[in-house]
Structure 1
Amino acid sequence: MSIVKKLDISKYLVIGPENTKGRPVATIIKDAVNAGFTCIQIRSKVASAKELIQLTRQAAEAIEEAGKSKEVALLVNDRLDIVLAARKEGIKVDGIHVGQTDIPVDVCREYLGEELIVGLSARADELFEYIKTADVSQLDYFGVGPLRETQTKPDCGLGKDGRVITRSFDDIAKISELSSIPVVVGGGVKLADIPSLAQTGADGFFVVSAVTEADNPKLEATKLVNAWNDYKSREKCSVN
Protein backbone atom coordinates (compact mmCIF):
# COMPACT_ATOMS: atom_id res chain seq x y z
CA MET A 1 0.00 0.00 0.00
CA SER A 2 1.21 3.49 -0.79
CA ILE A 3 2.09 5.43 2.34
CA VAL A 4 -0.04 8.30 0.96
CA LYS A 5 -3.16 6.18 1.46
CA LYS A 6 -2.46 5.94 5.18
CA LEU A 7 -0.59 9.19 5.71
CA ASP A 8 -0.56 10.12 9.40
CA ILE A 9 0.47 13.71 10.09
CA SER A 10 -0.75 13.72 13.68
CA LYS A 11 2.74 13.90 15.23
CA TYR A 12 5.10 15.57 12.78
CA LEU A 13 8.77 16.47 13.31
CA VAL A 14 10.70 18.96 11.18
CA ILE A 15 14.47 18.67 11.59
CA GLY A 16 17.79 19.75 10.13
CA PRO A 17 21.38 19.89 11.37
CA GLU A 18 21.02 23.53 12.41
CA ASN A 19 18.33 22.54 14.95
CA THR A 20 20.00 19.77 16.96
CA LYS A 21 22.62 21.54 19.09
CA GLY A 22 25.30 19.59 17.26
CA ARG A 23 23.75 16.16 17.88
CA PRO A 24 23.22 13.69 15.02
CA VAL A 25 19.97 14.27 13.13
CA ALA A 26 19.41 10.52 12.77
CA THR A 27 19.64 9.92 16.53
CA ILE A 28 16.91 12.47 17.26
CA ILE A 29 14.74 11.10 14.45
CA LYS A 30 15.05 7.59 15.87
CA ASP A 31 14.13 8.87 19.33
CA ALA A 32 11.10 10.71 17.94
CA VAL A 33 9.88 7.76 15.88
CA ASN A 34 10.30 5.37 18.81
CA ALA A 35 8.32 7.83 20.92
CA GLY A 36 5.46 7.71 18.42
CA PHE A 37 6.03 10.49 15.90
CA THR A 38 4.35 9.63 12.62
CA CYS A 39 5.92 11.95 10.03
CA ILE A 40 9.45 13.30 9.59
CA GLN A 41 10.49 16.22 7.40
CA ILE A 42 14.12 16.96 6.57
CA ARG A 43 14.55 20.73 6.31
CA SER A 44 17.82 22.63 6.10
CA LYS A 45 18.80 25.95 4.60
CA VAL A 46 22.50 25.41 5.31
CA ALA A 47 23.20 21.84 4.16
CA SER A 48 24.58 21.22 0.66
CA ALA A 49 22.75 18.98 -1.80
CA LYS A 50 25.15 16.12 -1.03
CA GLU A 51 24.63 16.64 2.71
CA LEU A 52 20.84 16.70 2.28
CA ILE A 53 20.90 13.40 0.40
CA GLN A 54 23.02 11.89 3.15
CA LEU A 55 20.68 13.27 5.85
CA THR A 56 17.73 11.77 4.00
CA ARG A 57 19.50 8.42 3.83
CA GLN A 58 20.30 8.54 7.55
CA ALA A 59 16.70 9.48 8.36
CA ALA A 60 15.33 6.60 6.27
CA GLU A 61 17.73 4.20 7.99
CA ALA A 62 16.73 5.49 11.43
CA ILE A 63 13.05 4.97 10.62
CA GLU A 64 13.81 1.49 9.29
CA GLU A 65 15.83 0.58 12.39
CA ALA A 66 12.80 1.57 14.47
CA GLY A 67 10.69 -0.82 12.37
CA LYS A 68 8.44 2.00 11.18
CA SER A 69 9.22 2.33 7.45
CA LYS A 70 5.71 1.28 6.43
CA GLU A 71 3.92 3.71 8.72
CA VAL A 72 6.13 6.78 9.17
CA ALA A 73 6.37 9.12 6.19
CA LEU A 74 9.73 10.72 5.37
CA LEU A 75 9.49 14.02 3.51
CA VAL A 76 12.00 16.60 2.28
CA ASN A 77 11.34 20.32 2.49
CA ASP A 78 11.36 22.31 -0.75
CA ARG A 79 14.03 20.33 -2.63
CA LEU A 80 12.47 18.25 -5.39
CA ASP A 81 15.97 17.56 -6.69
CA ILE A 82 16.91 15.95 -3.38
CA VAL A 83 13.80 13.76 -3.35
CA LEU A 84 14.50 12.56 -6.90
CA ALA A 85 18.22 12.03 -6.29
CA ALA A 86 17.58 10.18 -3.03
CA ARG A 87 15.02 7.88 -4.62
CA LYS A 88 17.40 7.21 -7.51
CA GLU A 89 19.93 6.04 -4.91
CA GLY A 90 17.31 3.68 -3.46
CA ILE A 91 16.54 5.77 -0.37
CA LYS A 92 12.96 5.41 0.86
CA VAL A 93 11.74 9.00 0.83
CA ASP A 94 7.98 9.40 0.61
CA GLY A 95 7.45 12.92 -0.71
CA ILE A 96 7.96 16.65 -0.40
CA HIS A 97 6.68 19.65 1.51
CA VAL A 98 6.74 23.00 -0.27
CA GLY A 99 5.87 26.59 0.53
CA GLN A 100 3.92 29.07 -1.54
CA THR A 101 7.09 30.51 -3.10
CA ASP A 102 8.83 27.16 -3.65
CA ILE A 103 8.63 24.87 -6.67
CA PRO A 104 4.98 24.61 -7.84
CA VAL A 105 2.81 21.76 -6.61
CA ASP A 106 1.93 20.62 -10.14
CA VAL A 107 5.62 20.27 -11.00
CA CYS A 108 6.19 18.20 -7.85
CA ARG A 109 3.27 15.97 -8.73
CA GLU A 110 4.45 15.59 -12.34
CA TYR A 111 7.86 14.30 -11.22
CA LEU A 112 6.75 12.34 -8.15
CA GLY A 113 3.65 10.71 -9.56
CA GLU A 114 0.43 9.97 -7.72
CA GLU A 115 1.88 7.64 -5.10
CA LEU A 116 4.14 10.09 -3.27
CA ILE A 117 3.12 12.78 -0.79
CA VAL A 118 2.96 16.48 -1.62
CA GLY A 119 2.25 18.86 1.27
CA LEU A 120 1.91 22.64 1.02
CA SER A 121 2.24 25.49 3.51
CA ALA A 122 -1.05 27.38 3.33
CA ARG A 123 -1.00 31.06 2.42
CA ALA A 124 -0.61 33.55 5.27
CA ASP A 125 -2.65 36.33 3.64
CA GLU A 126 -6.39 35.88 3.19
CA LEU A 127 -5.97 32.41 4.66
CA PHE A 128 -9.61 31.49 5.16
CA GLU A 129 -10.58 32.43 1.62
CA TYR A 130 -7.54 30.58 0.31
CA ILE A 131 -8.41 27.40 2.21
CA LYS A 132 -11.95 27.53 0.82
CA THR A 133 -10.97 28.13 -2.81
CA ALA A 134 -7.55 26.50 -3.30
CA ASP A 135 -7.24 23.65 -5.80
CA VAL A 136 -6.24 20.74 -3.58
CA SER A 137 -6.53 18.04 -6.22
CA GLN A 138 -2.76 17.49 -6.24
CA LEU A 139 -2.20 17.94 -2.50
CA ASP A 140 -2.21 15.54 0.44
CA TYR A 141 -2.24 18.06 3.31
CA PHE A 142 -1.87 21.71 4.33
CA GLY A 143 0.68 23.01 6.82
CA VAL A 144 -0.70 25.97 8.79
CA GLY A 145 0.86 28.37 11.28
CA PRO A 146 2.49 29.78 13.19
CA LEU A 147 0.73 29.47 16.51
CA ARG A 148 3.25 32.02 17.74
CA GLU A 149 6.39 33.61 16.30
CA THR A 150 9.37 31.28 16.25
CA GLN A 151 13.10 31.82 15.79
CA THR A 152 13.38 28.42 14.12
CA LYS A 153 11.63 29.81 11.03
CA PRO A 154 11.28 33.60 11.40
CA ASP A 155 9.44 33.98 8.07
CA CYS A 156 6.72 31.47 8.99
CA GLY A 157 3.35 33.19 8.50
CA LEU A 158 4.92 36.27 6.93
CA GLY A 159 2.25 38.54 5.42
CA LYS A 160 2.55 40.88 2.47
CA ASP A 161 3.28 43.78 4.81
CA GLY A 162 6.29 41.98 6.26
CA ARG A 163 4.64 41.17 9.57
CA VAL A 164 4.16 37.65 10.93
CA ILE A 165 0.51 36.59 11.17
CA THR A 166 0.02 34.20 14.08
CA ARG A 167 -3.01 31.92 14.43
CA SER A 168 -5.31 31.52 17.41
CA PHE A 169 -6.93 28.21 18.35
CA ASP A 170 -10.22 29.65 17.05
CA ASP A 171 -8.51 30.38 13.71
CA ILE A 172 -7.22 26.83 13.54
CA ALA A 173 -10.65 25.39 14.33
CA LYS A 174 -12.12 27.41 11.48
CA ILE A 175 -9.34 26.37 9.08
CA SER A 176 -9.80 22.71 10.02
CA GLU A 177 -13.53 22.99 9.36
CA LEU A 178 -13.05 24.72 5.99
CA SER A 179 -10.26 22.53 4.63
CA SER A 180 -11.15 19.55 2.46
CA ILE A 181 -7.73 17.97 3.09
CA PRO A 182 -5.87 17.23 6.35
CA VAL A 183 -4.32 20.15 8.25
CA VAL A 184 -1.18 20.03 10.41
CA VAL A 185 -0.41 23.03 12.63
CA GLY A 186 2.88 24.27 14.01
CA GLY A 187 5.13 27.21 14.63
CA GLY A 188 6.14 27.69 18.25
CA VAL A 189 4.01 24.77 19.46
CA LYS A 190 4.80 23.65 23.01
CA LEU A 191 3.62 20.76 25.18
CA ALA A 192 1.10 22.97 26.98
CA ASP A 193 -0.56 23.79 23.63
CA ILE A 194 -1.33 20.20 22.64
CA PRO A 195 -4.68 19.71 24.44
CA SER A 196 -6.08 22.97 23.01
CA LEU A 197 -4.69 22.19 19.59
CA ALA A 198 -6.18 18.70 19.61
CA GLN A 199 -9.60 20.22 20.32
CA THR A 200 -9.52 22.38 17.18
CA GLY A 201 -10.13 19.49 14.80
CA ALA A 202 -6.66 19.82 13.25
CA ASP A 203 -5.24 16.51 12.04
CA GLY A 204 -1.92 16.99 13.78
CA PHE A 205 0.83 19.23 15.10
CA PHE A 206 4.37 19.85 13.90
CA VAL A 207 7.34 20.87 16.02
CA VAL A 208 11.01 21.56 15.59
CA SER A 209 12.85 22.88 18.65
CA ALA A 210 10.41 21.41 21.19
CA VAL A 211 12.05 18.06 20.37
CA THR A 212 15.27 18.78 18.47
CA GLU A 213 16.72 21.23 20.99
CA ALA A 214 15.45 19.50 24.12
CA ASP A 215 17.96 18.17 26.65
CA ASN A 216 16.23 14.79 26.30
CA PRO A 217 14.58 14.66 22.85
CA LYS A 218 13.01 11.23 23.36
CA LEU A 219 11.40 12.27 26.65
CA GLU A 220 9.96 15.47 25.17
CA ALA A 221 8.77 13.63 22.06
CA THR A 222 7.04 11.07 24.29
CA LYS A 223 5.32 13.81 26.30
CA LEU A 224 4.00 15.44 23.12
CA VAL A 225 2.78 12.13 21.68
CA ASN A 226 1.07 11.15 24.94
CA ALA A 227 -0.63 14.54 25.30
CA TRP A 228 -2.08 14.29 21.78
CA ASN A 229 -3.08 10.64 22.12
CA ASP A 230 -4.63 11.17 25.56
CA TYR A 231 -6.99 13.83 24.24
CA LYS A 232 -7.86 11.85 21.12
CA SER A 233 -8.60 8.70 23.11
CA ARG A 234 -10.91 10.65 25.46
CA GLU A 235 -12.60 12.21 22.43
CA LYS A 236 -13.15 8.77 20.92
CA CYS A 237 -14.62 7.44 24.16
CA SER A 238 -17.03 10.38 24.44
CA VAL A 239 -18.26 9.77 20.87
CA ASN A 240 -18.82 6.09 21.57
Structure 2
Amino acid sequence: MAVIPTPEKHVAQLIDANLDRAREGLRVIEDWCRYGLQRKDLIIIIKDYRHQLGRLHQKTYKQARSAQTDQGSGLTHEAQNDRISPLQIVSANCARVQEALRVIEEFARNIDPELTKAASKIRYEIYDLEINIQEATSGKKRQKELSACKLCLITTPHQELIAKVSAGLKAGVGMVQYRCKKGKDIDKFSEAEKLAVICKDYGALFIVNDRIDIALAVDADGIHIGQEDLPLDIARKLIGPEKLIGVSCHSLEEAQKADKNGSDYIGFGPIFRTTSKPEVAPLGLECLKQISNSINQPCFAIGGINHLNRSKLLSTGVSRIAVIDAIMKAEDPFQASKQLLEI
Protein backbone atom coordinates (compact mmCIF):
# COMPACT_ATOMS: atom_id res chain seq x y z
CA MET A 1 0.00 0.00 0.00
CA ALA A 2 1.34 3.44 -0.94
CA VAL A 3 2.34 5.88 1.79
CA ILE A 4 -0.03 8.85 1.72
CA PRO A 5 0.67 12.43 2.84
CA THR A 6 -0.69 13.21 6.30
CA PRO A 7 -4.01 14.98 5.71
CA GLU A 8 -5.47 17.70 7.88
CA LYS A 9 -7.20 16.18 10.88
CA HIS A 10 -10.67 17.31 9.84
CA VAL A 11 -10.18 15.90 6.34
CA ALA A 12 -8.95 12.62 7.79
CA GLN A 13 -12.02 12.51 10.06
CA LEU A 14 -14.26 13.15 7.09
CA ILE A 15 -12.65 10.37 5.03
CA ASP A 16 -12.80 7.97 7.97
CA ALA A 17 -16.49 8.66 8.60
CA ASN A 18 -17.40 8.16 4.96
CA LEU A 19 -15.40 4.96 4.66
CA ASP A 20 -17.34 3.64 7.66
CA ARG A 21 -20.60 4.86 6.13
CA ALA A 22 -19.89 3.23 2.77
CA ARG A 23 -18.87 -0.10 4.31
CA GLU A 24 -21.89 -0.17 6.63
CA GLY A 25 -24.22 0.53 3.70
CA LEU A 26 -22.59 -2.22 1.67
CA ARG A 27 -23.09 -4.65 4.55
CA VAL A 28 -26.82 -3.91 4.63
CA ILE A 29 -27.06 -4.54 0.89
CA GLU A 30 -24.93 -7.67 1.12
CA ASP A 31 -27.09 -9.18 3.85
CA TRP A 32 -30.26 -8.65 1.81
CA CYS A 33 -28.62 -10.41 -1.14
CA ARG A 34 -27.51 -13.18 1.20
CA TYR A 35 -30.64 -13.83 3.23
CA GLY A 36 -33.39 -12.22 1.15
CA LEU A 37 -32.34 -13.12 -2.38
CA GLN A 38 -29.86 -15.94 -1.76
CA ARG A 39 -27.79 -14.64 -4.67
CA LYS A 40 -24.20 -15.78 -4.25
CA ASP A 41 -23.07 -13.89 -7.36
CA LEU A 42 -24.21 -10.57 -5.88
CA ILE A 43 -22.80 -11.41 -2.43
CA ILE A 44 -19.34 -11.99 -3.90
CA ILE A 45 -19.36 -8.61 -5.68
CA ILE A 46 -20.46 -6.63 -2.62
CA LYS A 47 -18.10 -8.46 -0.27
CA ASP A 48 -15.24 -7.56 -2.59
CA TYR A 49 -16.25 -3.88 -2.44
CA ARG A 50 -16.22 -3.98 1.35
CA HIS A 51 -12.79 -5.60 1.46
CA GLN A 52 -11.36 -3.13 -1.04
CA LEU A 53 -12.48 -0.21 1.09
CA GLY A 54 -11.35 -1.99 4.26
CA ARG A 55 -7.87 -2.47 2.85
CA LEU A 56 -7.67 1.24 1.98
CA HIS A 57 -9.04 2.38 5.35
CA GLN A 58 -5.66 3.46 6.60
CA LYS A 59 -4.54 3.94 10.19
CA THR A 60 -4.14 7.68 9.56
CA TYR A 61 -7.87 8.03 9.01
CA LYS A 62 -8.87 5.87 11.97
CA GLN A 63 -6.60 7.75 14.36
CA ALA A 64 -8.33 11.01 13.47
CA ARG A 65 -11.70 9.59 14.53
CA SER A 66 -13.53 11.51 17.26
CA ALA A 67 -17.13 10.44 17.76
CA GLN A 68 -17.51 12.70 20.82
CA THR A 69 -16.92 15.87 18.83
CA ASP A 70 -18.96 14.82 15.79
CA GLN A 71 -21.88 17.26 15.63
CA GLY A 72 -23.82 14.94 13.32
CA SER A 73 -23.61 11.93 15.59
CA GLY A 74 -27.01 10.52 16.51
CA LEU A 75 -28.96 12.73 14.12
CA THR A 76 -31.78 11.02 12.26
CA HIS A 77 -34.41 12.05 9.74
CA GLU A 78 -38.12 11.24 9.71
CA ALA A 79 -37.78 9.90 6.16
CA GLN A 80 -35.97 6.88 7.64
CA ASN A 81 -39.31 5.74 9.07
CA ASP A 82 -40.75 5.52 5.54
CA ARG A 83 -38.42 2.67 4.60
CA ILE A 84 -40.78 -0.25 4.97
CA SER A 85 -39.96 -2.72 2.20
CA PRO A 86 -36.59 -4.43 1.65
CA LEU A 87 -36.34 -2.67 -1.71
CA GLN A 88 -36.68 0.75 -0.05
CA ILE A 89 -34.00 -0.18 2.48
CA VAL A 90 -31.65 -1.43 -0.23
CA SER A 91 -32.19 1.68 -2.38
CA ALA A 92 -31.56 3.97 0.59
CA ASN A 93 -28.32 2.18 1.42
CA CYS A 94 -27.17 2.21 -2.20
CA ALA A 95 -27.64 5.98 -2.13
CA ARG A 96 -25.79 6.12 1.19
CA VAL A 97 -22.82 4.26 -0.29
CA GLN A 98 -22.78 6.40 -3.43
CA GLU A 99 -22.88 9.65 -1.46
CA ALA A 100 -20.14 8.52 0.92
CA LEU A 101 -17.89 7.45 -1.95
CA ARG A 102 -18.45 10.76 -3.72
CA VAL A 103 -17.31 12.64 -0.62
CA ILE A 104 -14.21 10.45 -0.44
CA GLU A 105 -13.43 11.12 -4.09
CA GLU A 106 -13.56 14.90 -3.57
CA PHE A 107 -11.50 15.08 -0.39
CA ALA A 108 -9.00 12.28 -1.02
CA ARG A 109 -8.21 13.26 -4.59
CA ASN A 110 -4.90 15.02 -3.81
CA ILE A 111 -3.82 12.93 -0.84
CA ASP A 112 -4.80 9.34 -1.60
CA PRO A 113 -5.10 8.60 -5.35
CA GLU A 114 -5.52 4.86 -4.80
CA LEU A 115 -8.51 5.35 -2.50
CA THR A 116 -9.97 7.94 -4.86
CA LYS A 117 -9.71 5.58 -7.82
CA ALA A 118 -11.35 2.71 -5.90
CA ALA A 119 -14.13 4.94 -4.58
CA SER A 120 -14.93 6.24 -8.06
CA LYS A 121 -14.97 2.75 -9.60
CA ILE A 122 -17.20 1.26 -6.90
CA ARG A 123 -19.56 4.27 -6.93
CA TYR A 124 -20.29 3.89 -10.63
CA GLU A 125 -20.68 0.13 -10.36
CA ILE A 126 -23.19 0.53 -7.52
CA TYR A 127 -25.59 2.18 -9.97
CA ASP A 128 -25.77 -1.03 -12.03
CA LEU A 129 -25.72 -3.20 -8.92
CA GLU A 130 -28.78 -1.45 -7.54
CA ILE A 131 -30.72 -2.17 -10.74
CA ASN A 132 -29.69 -5.83 -10.58
CA ILE A 133 -30.84 -6.08 -6.98
CA GLN A 134 -34.14 -4.34 -7.78
CA GLU A 135 -34.79 -6.83 -10.59
CA ALA A 136 -33.83 -9.76 -8.38
CA THR A 137 -36.11 -8.49 -5.60
CA SER A 138 -38.97 -8.06 -8.07
CA GLY A 139 -38.34 -11.63 -9.25
CA LYS A 140 -38.54 -12.84 -5.66
CA LYS A 141 -41.82 -10.98 -5.24
CA ARG A 142 -43.20 -12.54 -8.42
CA GLN A 143 -42.30 -16.02 -7.19
CA LYS A 144 -44.09 -15.36 -3.92
CA GLU A 145 -47.20 -14.09 -5.74
CA LEU A 146 -47.10 -17.08 -8.09
CA SER A 147 -46.95 -19.46 -5.15
CA ALA A 148 -50.03 -17.80 -3.62
CA CYS A 149 -52.02 -17.73 -6.88
CA LYS A 150 -54.97 -20.14 -7.11
CA LEU A 151 -56.80 -18.82 -10.16
CA CYS A 152 -55.39 -17.77 -13.53
CA LEU A 153 -57.61 -16.12 -16.11
CA ILE A 154 -56.58 -16.75 -19.70
CA THR A 155 -58.12 -14.15 -21.97
CA THR A 156 -59.80 -14.60 -25.31
CA PRO A 157 -60.70 -11.76 -27.70
CA HIS A 158 -63.80 -9.98 -26.46
CA GLN A 159 -65.41 -6.58 -26.99
CA GLU A 160 -65.57 -6.15 -23.23
CA LEU A 161 -62.11 -7.60 -22.53
CA ILE A 162 -61.01 -4.92 -20.05
CA ALA A 163 -64.32 -5.05 -18.14
CA LYS A 164 -64.27 -8.86 -17.97
CA VAL A 165 -60.69 -8.98 -16.70
CA SER A 166 -61.28 -6.14 -14.24
CA ALA A 167 -64.26 -8.00 -12.76
CA GLY A 168 -62.18 -11.15 -12.37
CA LEU A 169 -59.36 -9.26 -10.71
CA LYS A 170 -61.77 -7.57 -8.35
CA ALA A 171 -63.04 -11.00 -7.32
CA GLY A 172 -59.53 -12.26 -6.59
CA VAL A 173 -57.99 -13.61 -9.81
CA GLY A 174 -54.26 -13.80 -9.04
CA MET A 175 -52.84 -14.01 -12.55
CA VAL A 176 -53.97 -12.93 -16.01
CA GLN A 177 -52.55 -14.52 -19.14
CA TYR A 178 -53.13 -12.38 -22.23
CA ARG A 179 -53.80 -14.70 -25.17
CA CYS A 180 -54.63 -13.34 -28.61
CA LYS A 181 -53.69 -15.33 -31.70
CA LYS A 182 -55.18 -13.05 -34.36
CA GLY A 183 -55.20 -9.35 -35.20
CA LYS A 184 -52.69 -6.56 -35.61
CA ASP A 185 -49.67 -6.28 -33.34
CA ILE A 186 -50.46 -2.65 -32.54
CA ASP A 187 -53.87 -3.70 -31.21
CA LYS A 188 -52.36 -6.52 -29.19
CA PHE A 189 -49.81 -4.16 -27.70
CA SER A 190 -52.53 -1.66 -26.78
CA GLU A 191 -54.63 -4.32 -25.04
CA ALA A 192 -51.63 -5.81 -23.25
CA GLU A 193 -50.53 -2.38 -22.08
CA LYS A 194 -53.94 -1.67 -20.55
CA LEU A 195 -54.15 -5.08 -18.93
CA ALA A 196 -50.65 -4.75 -17.46
CA VAL A 197 -51.68 -1.53 -15.70
CA ILE A 198 -54.92 -3.03 -14.39
CA CYS A 199 -53.14 -6.13 -13.06
CA LYS A 200 -50.58 -3.96 -11.32
CA ASP A 201 -53.36 -1.93 -9.69
CA TYR A 202 -54.89 -5.13 -8.30
CA GLY A 203 -51.56 -6.67 -7.31
CA ALA A 204 -51.97 -9.54 -9.76
CA LEU A 205 -49.42 -11.12 -12.08
CA PHE A 206 -49.63 -10.33 -15.80
CA ILE A 207 -48.38 -12.89 -18.30
CA VAL A 208 -48.29 -12.62 -22.10
CA ASN A 209 -48.88 -15.73 -24.16
CA ASP A 210 -46.14 -16.54 -26.75
CA ARG A 211 -45.08 -12.98 -27.56
CA ILE A 212 -41.85 -12.14 -25.73
CA ASP A 213 -41.60 -8.82 -27.58
CA ILE A 214 -44.97 -7.64 -26.30
CA ALA A 215 -44.22 -8.95 -22.81
CA LEU A 216 -41.04 -6.89 -22.70
CA ALA A 217 -42.70 -3.85 -24.25
CA VAL A 218 -45.37 -3.67 -21.53
CA ASP A 219 -43.07 -4.88 -18.72
CA ALA A 220 -45.20 -7.96 -18.07
CA ASP A 221 -44.34 -10.29 -15.21
CA GLY A 222 -43.53 -13.05 -17.66
CA ILE A 223 -44.51 -15.14 -20.66
CA HIS A 224 -46.27 -18.41 -21.31
CA ILE A 225 -45.03 -20.69 -24.06
CA GLY A 226 -46.28 -23.88 -25.70
CA GLN A 227 -44.50 -26.99 -26.85
CA GLU A 228 -44.11 -25.61 -30.38
CA ASP A 229 -42.94 -22.13 -29.36
CA LEU A 230 -39.37 -20.97 -28.70
CA PRO A 231 -37.29 -23.40 -26.62
CA LEU A 232 -37.35 -22.63 -22.90
CA ASP A 233 -33.63 -21.80 -22.67
CA ILE A 234 -33.88 -19.30 -25.52
CA ALA A 235 -37.00 -17.73 -24.01
CA ARG A 236 -35.14 -17.35 -20.70
CA LYS A 237 -32.23 -15.57 -22.36
CA LEU A 238 -34.62 -13.14 -24.01
CA ILE A 239 -36.99 -12.45 -21.12
CA GLY A 240 -34.34 -12.44 -18.38
CA PRO A 241 -33.79 -14.41 -15.15
CA GLU A 242 -36.22 -12.43 -12.98
CA LYS A 243 -39.34 -12.82 -15.14
CA LEU A 244 -41.69 -15.78 -14.97
CA ILE A 245 -41.96 -18.43 -17.68
CA GLY A 246 -44.91 -20.80 -17.82
CA VAL A 247 -45.04 -23.81 -20.12
CA SER A 248 -48.08 -25.67 -21.51
CA CYS A 249 -47.68 -29.41 -20.98
CA HIS A 250 -49.82 -32.32 -22.10
CA SER A 251 -47.94 -35.29 -20.68
CA LEU A 252 -45.89 -36.31 -17.68
CA GLU A 253 -42.72 -36.27 -19.77
CA GLU A 254 -43.32 -32.71 -20.98
CA ALA A 255 -44.04 -31.53 -17.44
CA GLN A 256 -40.89 -33.13 -16.03
CA LYS A 257 -38.81 -31.66 -18.85
CA ALA A 258 -40.16 -28.14 -18.23
CA ASP A 259 -39.55 -28.54 -14.50
CA LYS A 260 -35.98 -29.70 -15.08
CA ASN A 261 -35.21 -26.96 -17.63
CA GLY A 262 -36.17 -24.08 -15.37
CA SER A 263 -39.74 -23.07 -16.05
CA ASP A 264 -41.48 -21.29 -13.16
CA TYR A 265 -44.85 -23.01 -13.52
CA ILE A 266 -46.71 -25.27 -15.90
CA GLY A 267 -50.21 -25.34 -17.30
CA PHE A 268 -51.34 -28.96 -17.59
CA GLY A 269 -54.31 -30.16 -19.59
CA PRO A 270 -56.83 -30.45 -20.94
CA ILE A 271 -58.24 -32.13 -17.84
CA PHE A 272 -61.81 -32.12 -19.14
CA ARG A 273 -63.12 -31.79 -22.68
CA THR A 274 -63.11 -28.19 -23.90
CA THR A 275 -65.18 -26.17 -26.33
CA SER A 276 -62.06 -24.44 -27.70
CA LYS A 277 -60.41 -27.78 -28.65
CA PRO A 278 -63.19 -30.39 -28.71
CA GLU A 279 -61.08 -32.74 -30.84
CA VAL A 280 -58.45 -33.12 -28.09
CA ALA A 281 -59.06 -36.00 -25.69
CA PRO A 282 -59.02 -34.97 -22.02
CA LEU A 283 -56.10 -36.21 -19.92
CA GLY A 284 -58.19 -36.79 -16.83
CA LEU A 285 -57.75 -36.56 -13.09
CA GLU A 286 -55.44 -39.52 -12.63
CA CYS A 287 -52.88 -38.03 -15.00
CA LEU A 288 -53.11 -34.71 -13.15
CA LYS A 289 -52.46 -36.53 -9.89
CA GLN A 290 -49.27 -38.02 -11.35
CA ILE A 291 -48.10 -34.53 -12.31
CA SER A 292 -48.75 -33.27 -8.79
CA ASN A 293 -46.49 -35.99 -7.38
CA SER A 294 -43.73 -35.59 -9.97
CA ILE A 295 -42.81 -31.90 -10.21
CA ASN A 296 -41.70 -29.25 -7.73
CA GLN A 297 -43.11 -26.10 -9.30
CA PRO A 298 -46.66 -24.72 -9.31
CA CYS A 299 -49.03 -26.55 -11.65
CA PHE A 300 -52.21 -25.00 -13.04
CA ALA A 301 -54.85 -27.46 -14.21
CA ILE A 302 -56.51 -26.26 -17.39
CA GLY A 303 -59.17 -27.40 -19.82
CA GLY A 304 -62.94 -27.41 -19.38
CA ILE A 305 -62.80 -26.41 -15.71
CA ASN A 306 -65.83 -24.63 -14.25
CA HIS A 307 -67.59 -24.25 -10.90
CA LEU A 308 -69.46 -27.53 -11.44
CA ASN A 309 -66.39 -29.75 -11.81
CA ARG A 310 -63.85 -27.67 -9.89
CA SER A 311 -64.25 -29.75 -6.71
CA LYS A 312 -63.21 -32.92 -8.58
CA LEU A 313 -59.65 -31.59 -8.76
CA LEU A 314 -59.22 -31.57 -4.98
CA SER A 315 -58.30 -35.27 -4.88
CA THR A 316 -55.37 -34.73 -7.26
CA GLY A 317 -53.34 -32.45 -5.01
CA VAL A 318 -53.44 -29.66 -7.60
CA SER A 319 -55.11 -26.56 -6.14
CA ARG A 320 -54.38 -24.09 -8.92
CA ILE A 321 -56.55 -23.72 -12.01
CA ALA A 322 -56.48 -21.72 -15.24
CA VAL A 323 -59.75 -20.98 -17.03
CA ILE A 324 -60.99 -19.20 -20.13
CA ASP A 325 -64.70 -19.70 -20.78
CA ALA A 326 -65.65 -20.05 -17.11
CA ILE A 327 -64.96 -16.33 -16.69
CA MET A 328 -64.72 -14.81 -20.18
CA LYS A 329 -68.13 -16.21 -21.25
CA ALA A 330 -69.84 -15.71 -17.90
CA GLU A 331 -72.66 -13.17 -17.70
CA ASP A 332 -71.26 -12.13 -14.33
CA PRO A 333 -67.44 -12.62 -14.44
CA PHE A 334 -67.08 -11.32 -10.89
CA GLN A 335 -69.44 -13.92 -9.44
CA ALA A 336 -68.00 -16.65 -11.67
CA SER A 337 -64.51 -15.90 -10.37
CA LYS A 338 -65.76 -15.88 -6.79
CA GLN A 339 -67.37 -19.29 -7.25
CA LEU A 340 -64.16 -20.78 -8.62
CA LEU A 341 -62.12 -19.42 -5.71
CA GLU A 342 -64.54 -20.53 -3.01
CA ILE A 343 -64.46 -24.23 -3.91
| Same-fold status (TM-score > 0.5) | yes
Amino acid at match of 1:16: T
Select 1:110's aligned residue among 233, 237, 249: 237
TM-score, L = length of structure 1: 0.78
Q: Could you tell me the TM-score, scaled by structure 2's length? A: 0.56
Separation in 2, partners of 1:183, 1:40? 15
Q: Give the aligned partner of residue 337 of structure 2.
A: 221
Change (3 A) 1:133 1:45: closer
The amino acid across from 2:289 in the alignment is A
**Distance (whole Å) between structure 1 residues aligned to residue 162 and residue 314 of structure 2:** 28
Please give the alpha-carbon distance, in whole angstroms, between the structure 2 residues aligned to 1:148 and 1:194.
10
Correspondence for 1:68: 202
Contact conserved, 1:118 with 1:140, CA < 8 A, in 2? yes
Matches within 5 A, 1:1-240: 1-2=137-138, 3-6=141-144, 7=146, 8-17=148-157, 20=158, 22-23=159-160, 25-64=161-200, 67-69=201-203, 72-87=204-219, 93-122=220-249, 124=250, 127-134=251-258, 136-152=260-276, 154=277, 164-227=280-343
Where in structure 2 are there 5+ consecutive unaligned residues? 1-136
Q: State how far apart, in whole Å, the 2-side matches of 1:205 and 1:151 are.
A: 17
**Is the CA contact 1:4–1:140 (under 8 Å) kept in the aligned structure 2?**
no
Give a deviation string over 1:65-124, Cα, whole Å, max 9, x none.
xx423xx1100001112112223xxxxx100000000122111110111110000011x3
Higher strand share: 1
1:203-227: CA deviations, max 9, x gaps? 4001001101111111111111111
Q: Which amino acid aligns with 2:142?
A: V
Distance 1:203 1:111, change over 3 A: farther
Quick one: distance in 2 between partners of 1:134 and 1:73? Answer: 20
SS at match of 1:151: coil
In the aligned structure 2, how far is the partner of 1:147 from the partner of 1:105? 23
**Equivalent residues of 1:14, 1:42 under 8 A apart:** yes
Match of 1:160 in 2: none
The one-letter amino acid of 2:156's match is G
Distance in 1, Cα, partners of 2:209 & 2:197: 18
SS in 2 for 1:191: coil
Question: Percent identity between the aligned chains?
Answer: 28
Q: Which structure's residues are more often helix, by fraction?
A: 2
Q: CA deviation at 1:132?
A: 3.9
**Cα offset for 1:134?**
4.8
Larger radius of gyration: 2
Q: Structure 1 residues 183, 217: CA separation in 2 closer, same or farther (over 3 Å shift)? A: same
Cα 1:148/1:135, change in 2 over 3 Å: closer
Whole-angstrom CA distance in 1 between matches of 2:179 and 2:259:
25
Instruction: Identify which of structures 1 and 2 has the higher relative contact order when contacts are C-alpha pairs closer than 8 Å and 6+ apart.
Output: 1
Contact preservation (8 Å) 1:183, 1:202 = yes
Q: Which runs of 5+ in 1 are unaligned?
A: 88-92, 156-162, 228-240
- Distance in 2, matches of 1:203 and 1:108, equals 27
1:193 partner letter: N
